[in-house]
Amino acid sequence: MAEDFQKMDEKDDLYAINRDIVEDVLKAVEADSQSDLLAIFQDLHEADIADILEQITPEDRRRVMRLWGEHVDGEVLTELEEGVRDDIMEDTPDEILAEAVKDLDTDDVVYLVEDLEPPQQEKLLESLDDADRIAVEQSLSHEEDTAGRLMQREMVVAPQHWTVGDAIDYMRSATDLPQDFYDVIVVNPAMHPVGTVPLGKLMGAAREVFLSELMNPDFHAIPVDTPDEDVAYIFNQYHMVSAPVVDHNGRLVGVITIDDAMEILEDEAEEDMKRLAGVGDEELSSSVRETAKLRFPWLAVNLVSSITAAFVISRFSDAINSMVALAVLMPIVASMGGNAGTQTLTVTVRALATRDLTSANALRIIGREMAVGLVNGLAFAVLVGGIGYFWFGNPMLGVVLGLAMIGNMFVAALAGILVPMGLEKLGADPALASGAFVTTMTDIVGFFTFLGLATLILL
C-alpha cells in the first residue's frame, strides 16, 4: 500500500513533498551527518522544509532540529503549522532562535513570537537590533488577528513632491529596503498616505514625472485595528498586492503584503469547512490524544441532539408497536431533511464569508431557499410516497411519508439559512455549531411530523 501511495505521488503530485526526500532526511539523521542534511535542505524552499518537518514523527523532528543546530532557518519556522512550531520553538535553545529570527521581516518576527511565553519572548526581542525590536513591540501592542499584527514596518515611503527620479535615487542609496515590496507609498507632510505607486508604473515613467501623477486612484489604506478577515477580503476583492496600514490618526504605520492576505483567506475557508463538519482547531500533526480531545465536544453536542431525537421517538412507542414499518421508514425522513438542511447551510455560510449575501439580497435568498425546499420536498415526497406504498402495500403510509418529507425539507431550508444568518447577526461565527443546530432541528421535526401524522392518520 505504501508503494501505491508513492506511485500516486510521482504521477500527480509533482510539487508535493514525496517519500524519497523524507527518507533522505531521515538517513542523514541516522548517519548523524549535518553536511548531508544541509545539502538536502539547500535545494529546498523553506516551505518544503517546513512540510517535511510537519510530516515526520515528533521524535524524528527533534532529531532533525538537533542535527540542523546553528543553521536553523527562521523562514522555515514561519512556514510551520502552529502545533509543530510551538513544539520546535520550545525545544530549540534561545541563542539558535535569536540567530534564526535576526534577518526576518518584522511581520514574520511578530508571527513567531506572539504566542511565546513572556521570558522566551523577551529574550528573543532583546537579540534584535533596536529599530526592529521597537517595531515588533509596537506590532505586539495591537490586538491579535488585526492589521496591526499582520503589517511589516519595512516599506518604501516617498513625499508627495518627489519625482520618479527622486524615488529611484533614494531606493538605490537605501541599505534597508524590504525583502519584497511592490509599491512606493506616497505620504503628505503629516505622514498620511495619499496614494501608492506600483513599481511597474514607476518603471515605465520618465525620471522627471511626479509620483502624484502615477498614483493608483483606488488605493485602500487599512486602519490598524481592522480584523484580519476584513484585510483578506479587501485584498481579494480589489486584487491588491500590498496596502498601507494607518493608525487612529491616519498616519502611516506599516504595510501588509499579499502573501499574508492569501494565508488568511485560506485559513478562513479551512476554518469554515472544519466548523461546519464539527472539527475544531486540530492540525494534521496533532497527536491521537489532542485530536480525540478536540473532537469530543462536537460529538457531545451531537449526542445531546440525537438523544433529544430519541426522546421524540419514545413518545410514539405505541405507534411503532402497532406498526413496525414506522420504525423502518422514519430515518429516511430525518436523513433527507438533514441533507437538505446541510446544503442550504453550506451555501449560506459560504455566501456570508464571501460577503455575497448582504442586506441587499437577504430577503430574496431566504425566499429562494424556502422555494427550493418546497420544490425538492414535493419531488421527494412523490418518490418516497411511492416507495412507502409499494414496499408496505399501504397507500396511506405513502401519503404520511410524503407529507412528512415536504414538511421536513421546508423546515430544513428555513433552518439552513436562518440559523447562520442569526448567528452572524449576533456577532457569532455563522459556521459555529450551525451544523448541530440544523440537524437537531431536522431530526426532531422529521421524527415528530412522520410519527405524529402516522398516529393521526393511520392508527
Alpha-carbon separation of residue 446 from 109, 140, 183, 392 (angstroms): 53, 51, 58, 20
Rounded Cα–Cα distance for residues 69 and 100 (Å):
11
Residue 158, C-beta contacts closer than 8 angstroms, at least 6 positions apart: 166, 167, 170, 184, 185, 186, 187, 197, 211
Coil/strand/helix, residue 158: strand
Rounded Cα–Cα distance for residues 2 and 24 (Å):
17
Quick one: which segment of 41-49, 65-73, 115-123, 186-194 binds a copy of itself (CB under 8 A)?
A: 41-49
* Cell triple for 194: 495619499
Quick one: which segment of 65-73, 86-94, 112-120, 201-209 binds a copy of itself (CB under 8 A)?
A: 201-209
Query: Are residues 450 and 333 in contact, defined by beta-carbon separation less than 8 angstroms?
Result: yes
Quick one: which segment of 87-95, 111-119, 127-135, 236-244 binds a copy of itself (CB under 8 A)?
A: 236-244
Rounded Cα–Cα distance for residues 82 and 76 (Å):
12
Q: Which of residues 57-96 bind a copy of itself (CB under 8 A)?
A: 57
Is the backbone of residue 158 left (phi > 0), alpha (psi -120 to 50) or beta? beta
Give 95 or 225: the residue with its C-beta nearer to a copy of itself.
225
* Cell triple for 79: 512556514
Asked if 458 interacts with a copy of itself (CB under 8 A), we say no
Contacting residue, 54, 108, 132, 228, with a copy of itself by CB under 8 A: 54
Give 97 or 405: the residue with its C-beta nearer to a copy of itself.
405
Coil/strand/helix, residue 184: strand
User: What is the closest distance, in whole angstroms, from the C-beta atom of residue 314 to a copy of itself in the complex?
Assistant: 5
Quick one: which segment of 101-109, 122-130, 135-143, 270-278 binds a copy of itself (CB under 8 A)?
A: 270-278
User: What is the closest distance, in whole angstroms, from the C-beta atom of residue 45 to a copy of itself in the complex?
Assistant: 6
Please provide the size of the chain in residues: 459
Give 168 or 458: the residue with its C-beta nearer to a copy of itself.
168
- H-type helices in 143-197, by residue range? 147-150, 164-173
Burial class (CB within 10 angstroms; exposed 0-12, middle 13-18, buried 19+) of 175: exposed
Coil/strand/helix, residue 163: strand
Asked if 168 interacts with a copy of itself (CB under 8 A), we say yes
Q: Which of residues 101-130 bind a copy of itself (CB under 8 A)?
A: none
Rounded Cα–Cα distance for residues 113 and 50 (Å):
17
Quick one: which segment of 6-14, 30-38, 93-101, 132-140 binds a copy of itself (CB under 8 A)?
A: 6-14
Q: Which of residues 406-425 bind a copy of itself (CB under 8 A)?
A: 424-425
Quick one: which segment of 31-39, 102-110, 188-196, 257-265 binds a copy of itself (CB under 8 A)?
A: 257-265
Q: Which of residues 294-313 bind a copy of itself (CB under 8 A)?
A: 295-296, 298-299, 302-303, 305-307, 309-310, 313
Burial class (CB within 10 angstroms; exposed 0-12, middle 13-18, buried 19+) of 289: exposed
Asked if 427 interacts with a copy of itself (CB under 8 A), we say yes
Query: Are residues 244 and 178 in contact, defined by beta-carbon separation less than 8 angstroms?
Result: no
Contacting residue, 47, 131, 382, 428, with a copy of itself by CB under 8 A: 47
Size of the site for a copy of itself (CB under 8 A): 138
Contacting residue, 49, 53, 56, 67, with a copy of itself by CB under 8 A: 56
Q: Which of residues 313-372 bind a copy of itself (CB under 8 A)?
A: 313-314, 317, 320-321, 324-325, 327-332, 334-336, 339-340, 342-343, 345-347, 350-351, 354-365, 368, 371-372
Give 56 or 89: the residue with its C-beta nearer to a copy of itself.
56
Q: H or E segment at 194?
A: strand 193-198
Asked if 239 interacts with a copy of itself (CB under 8 A), we say yes
Angle subtended at Cα 394 by Cα 391 and Cα 398, rounded to the nearest 5 degrees? 75
Give 138 or 348: the residue with its C-beta nearer to a copy of itself.
348
Residue 363, C-beta contacts closer than 8 angstroms, at least 6 positions apart: none
DSSP secondary structure string for all residues of 412-439: HHHHHHHHHHHHHHTTS-TTTTHHHHHH
User: What is the closest distance, in whole angstroms, from the C-beta atom of residue 231 to a copy of itself in the complex?
Assistant: 10
Contacting residue, 72, 116, 157, 171, with a copy of itself by CB under 8 A: 171
- What's CA 277's distance to the chain center, in Å? 14
Contacting residue, 215, 384, 406, 417, with a copy of itself by CB under 8 A: 384
Query: Are residues 19 and 53 in contact, defined by beta-carbon separation less than 8 angstroms?
Result: no
Asked if 211 interacts with a copy of itself (CB under 8 A), we say no
Asked if 204 interacts with a copy of itself (CB under 8 A), we say yes
User: What is the closest distance, in whole angstroms, from the C-beta atom of residue 423 to a copy of itself in the complex?
Assistant: 12
**Closest alpha carbon to 437 in 450, 418, 409:** 418
Quick one: which segment of 64-72, 108-116, 132-140, 274-282 binds a copy of itself (CB under 8 A)?
A: 274-282
Rounded Cα–Cα distance for residues 355 and 225 (Å):
20
User: What is the closest distance, in whole angstroms, from the C-beta atom of residue 367 to a copy of itself in the complex?
Assistant: 8
User: What is the closest distance, in whole angstroms, from the C-beta atom of residue 135 to a copy of itself in the complex?
Assistant: 19
